[in-house]
Amino acid sequence: MLQPEGAALGAAPRVRFYPERRDRYPGWLDERGQAALGRLSRDARLFAAPATDRAGVAAVLRLGRRLAALDDAAFDAEIVETRARIRRAGPTTSALREGVALAREASARTLGLRQRSVQIRGALAMLDGRLIEMDTGEGKTITAGLAAAAAALAGTPTHVITVNNYLAERDADTLRPVYERLGLTLGVILEDMSPQDRRAAYLCDLTYGSNTEMAFDYLRDRITFGAEGPQALRQRLARVASGSRDLSEPVMRGLHFAIVDEADSVLVDEAKTPLIISKQTDAAEEAAWAGRALDLARSLEKGPHYALEADERRVRLKEAGRERLTELTEGEDGLWQSRIRREEVIQQALAALFVFKRGEHYLVADGKIEIVDEYTGRLQPDRSWSDGMHQLIEAKEEVEITPQNIAVARMTYQRLFRRYVKLAGMTGTAREVTNELWSVYGLKTSRIPPHKPSKLRYRVPRVHGSVEAKWRAVVAETRTEAARGRPVLIGTRSVSASQAVSAALSAAGFEHRVLNAETDHESAEIIAEAGQAGRITVATNMAGRGVDIALGEGVREAGGLHVILTERHDAGRIDRQLAGRAGRRGEPGTVGQHLSLADPLLDAISAPHLRVLSYLPLIGLGPRLKLFDRAQARAERIHARMRRDLVRQDRRLNSMLSFTGGLE
């Protein structure tokens, strides 16, 4: 697949073609197997680590003892000799173990960090093409550095993929001294980079970038390929490998090996986000139909004309509603003449009015609609909803209507990552989606134990009858823990909920900081202070922020960080991510949970009478918690089904869109 240049040892291998794996779509048996395995223990065979991991760690430690005994001059000479040997051998098991040992010693000499046995084990698992679950705070960044360096030393161009540009640049800068000591070149993909700069970054031994940047680079490359045959394509790629600056050439040099950070977020949560390259429509035309659509939607009545299916974020028109639409649009032209089209538009308009909520799904900032990522709480200013939904929300909020983006080419994260020749990843929460990762990506998951046993303790959850009672209890618990000299982190599900608890804290006279989509630009500063004694922080979600909450002086003795969960998320993984901010690296910490029977998650249950019965005073804590468990499990099943549907849709698109052909 790769042929070394043969000149300078550190030069990137010449690409003979654009390596990528043929799409592996899960079939009927995969999906049935996923459902069956989901009913069994999630800690079964897909979550078990092979026995070879222990032998691999022992081999790396043995090699490491020899390297540690060398002085700097001898170590640098060892680097040159070992790199040449590993490059000739390729990515064999023994060569990769040598690479890990070499990178570990380089890390110790440049960063003062010598990775522990559990981190070596994690690196070897990723080099084996697995996804590792590693507790937050256990050093995933430097663990990934071991695996990435070993793969690059063996001649495999390696992509390290993070959830945003900030983390990509930060992690690359952190590990740059290690890579440079090993003689490896490092590139970083950032927004607004020119095609020439991107091409140069991808020609490096290692390339860091966000999932969004790399995915769109790949999609643009696929458009560049067009319908060329294999021979013409190879000729063009040969020019790329030789340093061609032709802007019509692709910027990447194939999908060799990817290490995905926060893999559950990228591979599962982001799987529903389509990647689209588009052209724009006329804004005035969009404003006209969107305004009319909302007027028509407001004239319909819930119940007789339509039904809300809030858990799936859609509206279903009833026959009476269809007939009423026909009457209201009689004599109108354009899209209103088509019954199918007008019904689709009105269903979208109803969803914009009654399903998508300001402060939860989006914000209005500077006269623009900005989407809020429900899993990370971050704003997504460069994204917009498709199929006219964004324009409908703009019309609803009475802001300037923007042009609609019509897809020229599209693909999904699922399809992109299935195409890597080798795929690996790491996250703090993979257990709940182990079977889906195997079914969709062929990724086995291994649990990497913490270096020190966890001291995190969960308190008995409390369920309150109203939202107001919940906030009062949260304030009372915050007062108790802060008085003990402990920092308190209060987690909420939405921006509006963070504002509500902030108001309750202010009314009680507590100073605090709020970290949500509106204050995301201050996240580093807020997190840096969140571990100080008595500090109170309210956060929508901490997933993917990539910054530890360091405990201040005296906090460990006071009991560590205390986390209060105020809602259940659609995915239990998100709750674990937030709780995992406490009790890192063997530190003490506690987690409390305050829920309300009025919480939005309970809208997902299919039996409303159960929710009504739960208000009765004789109903104990157990049945009430089971109500939340049932609602969360239902939400997880719905999202999983939507992702499976996306795979099927992608399979159909694969056979229809011309930009996907010619490379198989």
Can you spell out the DSSP letters for 94-147?
A: HHHHHHHHHHHHHHHHHTS----HHHHHHHHHHHTTEEEEE-TTS-HHHHHHHH
Q: How many CB atoms lie within 10 A of CB 94?
A: 11
Alpha carbon 653 to its chain centroid, in Å, reads 24
599 annotated as a binding-site residue: no
Q: Strand, helix or coil at 316?
A: strand
Euclidean distance between CA atoms 96 and 60, whole angstroms:
10
Cβ atoms 232, 266 nearer than 8 A: no
Q: What is the rounded CA–CA span in Å between residue 549 and residue 538?
A: 13
| 331 half-sphere exposure, CB direction, 13 A CA radius | 2
Q: How many Å apart are CA 571 and CA 629, to the nearest integer?
A: 11
Does 491 carry a binding-site annotation? no
Cα dihedral 358/602/577/411 (nearest 10): -60
Binding site annotation covers 119?
yes
The 10 Å Cβ neighbour count of residue 9 is: 12
Shortest CA distance to 161 belongs to which of 382, 442, 425? 425
How far is the C-alpha of 12 from the C-alpha of 252, rounded, in Å? 13
Judge whether 139 is annotated as a binding position: yes
Tell me: is residue 137 an annotated ligand-binding position: yes
Report strand pairing: 422-427 vs 130-134.
parallel
Q: What is the DSSP letter of 23?
A: P
Q: Is 586 annotated as a binding residue?
A: no
- In this structure, what are the phi and psi dihedrals at residue 151, rounded to the nearest 5 degrees? -65, -45
Strands (E), 326-471: 362-365, 368-372, 379-380, 405-412, 422-427, 444-448, 455-458, 462-464
Residue 404 labeled ligand binder:
no
- The tokens describing 262, both together, are 């926060």
- Rounded to whole angstroms, how far apart are CA atoms 44 and 39? 11
Q: Quick one: DSSP state of residue 192?
A: T
* Contact of 132 with 448, CB cutoff 8 Å: yes
Distance (Å, whole) CA 276 – CA 279: 10
**Helices 72-89 and 140-153, interaxial angle, to 10°?**
60
Bridge partner list, 447: 133
Are 635 and 311 a contacting pair, CB within 8 Å? yes
- Would you list which residues are annotated within the binding site? 119, 137-141, 548
- Would you list which residues are annotated within the binding site for ATP? 119, 137-141, 548
